[in-house]
Chains A and B, each alone.
Chain A
Amino acid sequence: MIVIVGGGVTGLSTAFWLAREGHPVTVIEKGIVGWEASGRNGGGCTHPYSPLFREEQRLWPMMDELLGHPTEWRPHRIKVALDDGQLDRLWKSTRLATDQGFVADEMDRAQLRDMVPWVGENAVGGVHWRYGGHANPQRTSQAYAWAVERHGGRILQHTAVRGIRVQGGRAVAVDTSVGEIGCDAVVLAAGPHSAALAAPLGHRVPVAPARVEMIVTEPVPPIAIGGVDGNGLYGRQTLRGNLAYGGGPHEWIDLDGEATPRAVNSPVVASLARRLNEMFPRLGHVRVIRSWGGIVENTPDGRPILDRLDDPANVVVASMSSVGFGLSPATGRALAQLVLQGHCDFADLSQLKLSRFGNLPLDWRSRQGWDALPA
């Protein structure tokens, strides 16, 4: 039995790939699957700085079929720049992909307007990424969960993990609010909560939780490539037509026990509206109808931890450092390989080991300026 702690996209995808190959899996989720940051995010599927990028691009077109439920995945992205600085930075990130053989086209304002009728005279240009894409986070998270169950895996919602029992250098059981579950391997994919679960095993998983937020408008007529963003915002037009965008200041927070704090919104939602209206000046009349908050975690270098520990040797630790949704098809497959064979055969994860933080000072959060504000 492989026990996966955490029913977010990373844990669910890992469970999916394992269950699909016939391995017995149990996912333990303290609330509802995909409920936290996994189900509420920008939905982007374009991460060229990741060693999992190529696999991300390969897998997304197959995910609806693999999972048996629609993910709303759509290919390509369009990036909008409102000044030359934005355009320069846009090309920097574009080159990360084009250096790997992916194709991107420069767009002048007229071409941009053809594809994205909402932009105005203030746009200086853009780039059409003929790679990447976007999908619906909640629908995808749920699709993973149902696919796990279809392949015989078990998902325990509303179940908390209290600890992991180790014997002879191996995790042998996971202690939960519904009793102990014996295991042959454990995957810790509990977002910011992984730190507290790993500590009794003698490992420090350095992650700092933060609250982030997004806004959503009423639907506007869908355009062909809805994955449009820029101007310091990430986001997309959903297939239904809503505009969902985030960005701007986050708030570093502290956890209080096993619950995830209520992810409220702040007046930053107005700044998101301002940036969105700057990017799409023709949509000033479109109404904002909701906003989301979510809790994510970051490692000190902002990069994932995807590692199988030496001791206990059957425990895999996973944190995507606040960027997990789009990569999840590939991450889950990589983690399944770490569980089964100890290494990933399709991506170089050598830089993503937990040991890189071995010498991290204890007060690393303070040194980063990442402390929670005083109560």
Chain B
Amino acid sequence: MTIADPTSIAGKTFPLRGAFAHVVVGAGEAGIAAARRSAAAGEATLLVDEHPLDPGLIGLDIPYLFGTRAGSAVQNPARMEERVAAARPDLLAAMEEGVEVALGVAAWGGFVKGQSSRALPKPLLGLADGAAAWLVAFDRLTIATGARDVVLPFEGWTLPGVMGARGFDAALRLYAAFAGRRIAVLGGGALADGVVAAARHAGLDVAAHIKEAVPLRILGREEVTGIAWQSGATWPEAACDTVVMAVDTVPVVDLADVLGCAIAWDPARGGFAPVLDAAGRSSHAVVQVVGDAAGTAPMARARWHEVALASEEALVCACEEVSCGDLRALRPPRYLDAAGPDAGLSALGVLNQDQVKRLTRAGMGACQGRRCREAVHALLSRDGPAPLASHRVPLRPLPLCVLAALEEDAVLRADWTGWFGIAAQWLPHWEPAPVDAEYIGGRLSPEDVVK
């Protein structure tokens, strides 16, 4: 009988704040409906939604492109929670039917058994609010995380006042905190038409609606003051304080991806979308995906990306300041002041977005790549779609102190070592390793292990 390596994960536990038959992430229409169904069937059901968002995340354009056009009202969490509940009347019904509802709670991670992760007795979901992170166990998970905005890196897109259709909708209807007056809308489909209609309904001016993909510039110094676009040989301009990019959205597949659910390129469903069976189940039997997270409208951004990415100067990744030209040249980040390989991107052979990310830093910033993911992918997909760039835990940026507040197993802490815990590894390798029976064992107690 051997004793499992105490410095390994064997025997460690992960304290929970609850265990549910069914957890639903995302309290939109599809998520609320899924939660109500299981509660009606008598299942212990938890429904979490990250709205109202921490104002810091709104500033980072997470999960939508908010473009700092949400007013100061979003700084008041209590008021915002009332707003969210008011905007989604079915939430109240769900609560009355026994669904445990947690607003302002983000799902930042999912952990299931797999070939390299067998320590978990049950599937776990990582949750967090502004104060702490915690874990809950689930038997069944429904992902109803919706869609997010596709950003087109036209000149001026980082100016305050440039937002996405989902960001606009959240600011206007969910938070009732939209701070613009006069908007220009990009996009020729139902998404853009919806933005125009919602804007008019709210009494906003629609200064321009650009339906076809054309070269354009967003104007302004401190913030958006207008937009200019190419029309034949001329460049008309319209004054506005907000530009809404309503060309396209993509399913939010981050949680499905970290759980290991199969995800495939499917332009008919908006781009990368989870592989689902007829019942909406993912490749993980216990994970179901519903609503826009399962697939959005057919992809409508290809031509727009082509136009926006035609400029070498187009700033694709704002967090890490990577331009279209930097990507094509595979240029190391600016702080290194070095050239890329002579062949540029071709030096890599088959293109992989994660590899390009690590070399150029495009997508490596604080917004976790949400603003540039699709543009970089488009740029790398000239010879067919590049593979999905991985999503990493935590799926929302979490302050160290919030993640650190997750309750920790005392044994895990007591047995902590910096790196394995193999005695002979840290003794001079030019001398023979200890040969006592334990050497194979020469394991030191954690207190003696140095690294």
Contacts and interface: CB of A to CB of B under 8 A. Distances in A.
A350 B417 CA distance: 29
A115 interface: no
Interface string A359-375: 01000101111111111
A265 B412 contact: no
Interface in A247-261: 247-254, 256, 261
Interface in A32-74: 32, 35, 39, 49-51, 69-70, 72
Interface stretch (B170-178, B202-210, B293-301, B430-438): B430-438
A252 B116 CA distance: 8
B404 interface: yes
Interface string B407-451: 010001101111110111111111111000001111100011111
A157 B349 CA distance: 8
A322 B419 contact: yes
Contact of A249 (B12, B320, B338, B394): B12
Given A49-B429, A269-B109, A286 B394 contact: no
Contacts of A253: 115-116, 118
B126 interface: yes
A295 B401 CA distance: 28
Contact of A89 (B116, B341, B440, B450): B450
Contact of A234 (B14, B120, B431, B451): B451
A301 B366 contact: no
Interface string B115-159: 111111000101000000101000000000000000000000000
A277 to B, nearest CB: 4
How many B residues are at the interface, by size bracket? 35 or more
A250 B406 contact: no
B203 to A, nearest CB: 37
Nearest to A72: B336
Nearest to A364: B440
B211 interface: no
B352 interface: yes
Given A287-B398, A371-B4, A248 B417 contact: yes
B116 A261 contact: yes
A301 B436 CA distance: 12
Contacts of B394: 269, 288-291
A374 to B, nearest CB: 7
Nearest to A269: B393
Interface residues of A, number: 97
Nearest to A275: B416
Contacts of A218: 365-366, 397
B433 A270 contact: no
B7 interface: yes
Contacts of B366: 218-219, 287, 289
Given A284-B400, A285-B400, A264 B135 contact: no
B57 to A, nearest CB: 10
A161 B428 CA distance: 34
B9 A251 contact: yes
A249 B117 CA distance: 12
Nearest to B417: A232
24 contacts: A49-B426, A49-B429, A51-B429, A69-B332, A219-B366, A248-B416, A249-B12, A251-B116, A266-B117, A266-B119, A271-B408, A273-B403, A277-B400, A284-B401, A291-B394, A301-B440, A302-B422, A303-B429, A303-B433, A321-B425, A368-B5, A368-B440, A369-B2, A369-B6
B418 A234 contact: yes
Interface string A79-103: 0000001000110110010000000
Nearest to A35: B355
A373 B118 contact: yes
Nearest to B368: A289
B215 interface: no
Interface string A269-311: 1110111111010011111111111010010111110000000
Contact of A70 (B336, B361, B418): B336
B358 interface: yes
B392 A290 contact: yes
A286 B392 contact: no
Nearest to B341: A146
Interface centre among B4, B7, B347, B404 (most CB of A within 10 A): B404
B392 A302 contact: no
B111 A289 contact: no
A23 interface: no
Nearest to A292: B392
A322 B417 CA distance: 14
A289 B430 CA distance: 40
